[in-house]
Amino acid sequence: MYLTLHADGWVRARGVAVRGRAFDGNRLLEEAALAERFGRVLADAASAGDDGEEPNGTAEADAAFEAIADCAGSLEGFFAAVVGLESEGRTYLVADGARSIPLYYAETTQFVSDRGNAVRDAIDAPRDPLTEREFLLTRYVTGPETIWDGVYAVQPGEVVALGADGIRRDTYREYWPAGPGRETTPRCDSNLESRDAEPAADVDLLEAAFDIALDRLEAVAGDRPIVLPLSGGFDSRLLASALVERGREVIGFTFGRSGHPDVEMSREVAARLGIRWEFYPYSQADWHEWYHGTAGRRYREWAFGGDALPFLAEWPALHGLLEAGRLPEDGLYCPGHTVATPSERLPRFVGERRPVGETNVGCAPAVDADEETDEEPRIEPTLEALVEHVLETHYTLWEWDDDSFETAARARIRDGLLGERPSEAIDSPETAGAAYERWEWRGRMSTFTNGDCRAYEDAGLEWWLPLWDPAYVRAWTQVPLARRRGKRLHAELAAKIYRRATGVSTARSRLTDRTLEPADRVLSLVRHTPERQWTERDGDWLPPFLAPRSAWREPGTHPLAWDGAVETRLLEALPEQARNFYALRTLAETGRLDLDDPDPTVCSSGLSLPTLEAGRR
């Protein structure tokens, strides 16, 4: 086995390479202790097989595999491990349940790295037209594959064994949020007892799990300040409010264009909580420099593993605020990414009753010009209806018409929805909801969204994901579908703790960037940070950004201004749908478009996606 690790923080001991931290009960294990733990488990498994009986390589390998999986399942945190560096038999790769630290490997050789392109170069891997097409249409790859043929990524909650006899994969920590009394995860979740529907839906149950996650966060942070990218939604507000209640030093930061609802809601939350708040303005001219400069090129190349587009949103703000001394280099940075996010995009199912008073809480930051409607179409709670929904909802960055790809994509979506379950497992709104959220957990959140951690690592910062803490994940799997939908219970918890910490009204506690009134956007600066009037807006009364969501796809009107990275001539040559920055970046990452070209010649008729030969897969 050949191993090459590029990121800082990897520790090697006892034939194990480990990065990250995890809790064994209440005990925090740093990298060296984790390496010791995995090394001891592997040694015990080997000695158990040496019992004087006739050797059975398969049985010993299976025993070691199960021991490694059991060890991983007993740990709760954010880590990756390569176990068996000195073994002549199998090497085991381990990812946590959020796949917060990526590992890649080759199918044909035992080559392992934390960079997908290193594995690609080692085996001279060609592009895979199926997974490359999926990446172009979604900005991520939904299975263990990458866009390079034969290059694989360890999946969330998975152990992979590499050996002369081939590859074995097993998921030790599943995600199937079917609500109270339903199947949860096969390992490490027995300490969360099944409850009937009413207690499981109670916000107190979720808060108890959240307290465990906060205890762990504080243990990792020690005396360091905790820094949050504070958006206008509920996720980071939940963290900020709870940490303020605990008396922690909290620093919030946000970025974009002054007047953007995300910025103005963040400003208000920070002011009401009484925490330090830093704002980093974005402009089109700045984005052109950031994206095309040396640092931007280096980051994108380093962060692209072949399975998800590198996260860019806060990358410039992190570097700019650190360079100006406005954020601490020794803080613990906690993005608000959460297990509850897939629940925000749940389809509504036939046979599901809409609770009285339900509203769309809109937890995600308002950065896309999506249209929201109160009346959502309902789909049947069946496997094929879910497959159709995922295809129509997520495979949309480009228009396409390819029967061969559609057949292959449907098969991949089915795998992501079901895992090892039979198709009959989807037989109700509850199980259909669980299957959809499993698809997002496995295919989208653990690749694209949690890839955001690479931006913090590029800036030399330590991070933690408290809202992906396994205790919070377990509690969320027990929330009924009606209260998971739209992150409803998660939002209730955030509003509850925010009210406690600030004393605001119920209505104000539920306000987000998606419901902020235009007048609030105008008055926010003088209400909450009047001292910034002359530095942030040069004395202007009106904020520079007041465009409504419906206009955000027009060139020059995006709230993050990141269309400044693309030549205006190119944007104007493309239809409205193709002006999506994610879509253009997928073309750039696969070499189909040069965003650095000052005189681009690509137009809508010149864009092409790879096609699949009939019967390719």
Q: Which of 151-160, 360-369, 412-421, 524-533 has the lowest mean pLDDT?
A: 360-369
pLDDT at residue 373, rounded to an integer = 45
What are the tokens at 10? 């990897």
Any domain includes 122: yes
* Predicted pLDDT of residue 55: 47
Q: Is the pLDDT of residue 610 over 80?
A: no
- Inter-residue contact 68 to 38 (CB < 8 Å): yes
The confidence band for 354, taking pLDDT boundaries of 50, 70 and 90, is low
351 within domain boundaries: no
How much is the pLDDT for 389? 97
pLDDT at res. 601: 58
As a whole number of angstroms, the distance between CA 338 and CA 265 comes to 19
> What percentage of the chain reaches a pLDDT higher than 70?
88
**Residues 559 and 256: beta-carbon distance below 8 Å:** yes
Q: Token digits for 395?
A: 């495979």
Q: What is the pLDDT of residues 426-447, one digit of tens each?
A: 999 999 999 999 999 999 999 9
Q: Where are the alpha helices (DSSP H) in 185-293?
A: 197-201, 203-221, 235-245, 261-273, 284-292
pLDDT at 608: 58
Greatest mean pLDDT among 40-44, 327-331, 371-375, 588-592: 327-331
pLDDT band at 87 (very low <50, low <70, confident <90, very high): low
Return the beta strands (E) in 310-393 as ranges.
332-333, 348-349, 378-379
| Residue 81, strand partner residues | 18, 94
- pLDDT, tens digit, 9 for 90 and up, residues 191-231: 333 334 454 447 999 999 999 999 999 999 999 999 999 99
464, 332 Cβ separation under 8 angstroms? yes
Strands 276-281 and 250-256: parallel
Q: Which residue from 481, 438, 466 is spatially nearest to 175, judged by alpha carbons?
A: 438
- pLDDT, residue 46, reads 80
Backbone φ, ψ for residue 265 (5° rounding) = -70, -40
66 domain-assigned: yes
574 vs 43: which has the higher pLDDT = 43
3-class secondary-structure state, position 410: helix
Half-sphere exposure of 437 (CA within 13 A, CB side): 31
How far apart CA 162 and CA 182 sit, in angstroms, is 34
Question: How high is the pLDDT of residue 358?
Answer: 53
Domain-embedded: residue 386: no
The per-residue pLDDT for 362 is 46
Which band of pLDDT confidence, cut at 50, 70 and 90, is reported for residue 190?
Answer: very low
Q: What is the pLDDT of residue 573?
A: 76
For residue 51, give Cα distances in angstroms to 46, 55, 84. 10, 9, 21
Report the SS3 class of residue 85: coil
**28, part of any domain:** yes
- Give CA–CA dist 455/258, Å, rounded: 23
In this structure, what are the phi and psi dihedrals at residue 122, rounded to the nearest 5 degrees?
Answer: -65, -35
Radius of gyration of the chain measured on its C-alpha atoms: 24
The share of the chain scoring above pLDDT 90, in percent, equals 74
Q: Is 53 helix (H, G, I), strand (E, B) or coil?
A: coil
- Asked if residue 344 is part of any domain, the answer here is no
**Rounded CA separation 173/185 (Å):** 6
Average pLDDT, the chain: 89
Q: What's the total number of domains in the chain?
A: 1
**Cα(66)–Cα(171) distance, integer angstroms:** 11
Q: Is residue 17 part of a domain?
A: yes
* 178-183 contacts, C-beta under 8 A, 24 or more apart: 178/430, 178/431, 178/433, 178/434, 178/477, 178/481, 179/430, 179/434, 179/477, 179/478, 179/479, 179/480, 179/481, 179/484, 180/478, 180/479, 180/480, 182/430, 182/431, 182/434
**Is the per-residue pLDDT at 604 higher than 60?**
no
Please check whether residue 50 lies inside any domain of the structure: yes
Q: Is the dihedral of CA 204, 209, 215, 221 positive or negative?
A: negative
User: Six-digit token pair at 264?
Assistant: 């103005």
CA atoms of 320 and 314, how far apart (whole Å): 10
Residue 43 has pLDDT above 60, yes or no: yes
Residue 109 is predicted with a pLDDT of 84
Q: Is the pLDDT of residue 39 over 50?
A: yes
Q: Which residue has the higher pLDDT, 62 or 387?
A: 387
Domain that holds residue 161: 2-134+153-171
> 399-429: per-residue pLDDT in tens?
888 899 999 999 999 999 999 999 999 999 9
Mean pLDDT within 118-127: 96
**Positive or negative CA dihedral for 295, 296, 297, 303?**
positive
User: For the stretch 507-527, what's the b/e string if a residue is b when 16 or more beta carbons lie within 10 angstroms of its beta carbon?
Assistant: eebbbbbbbbeeeebbebbee
Query: Per-residue pLDDT averaged across 229-247, rounded?
Result: 97
pLDDT at 600: 61
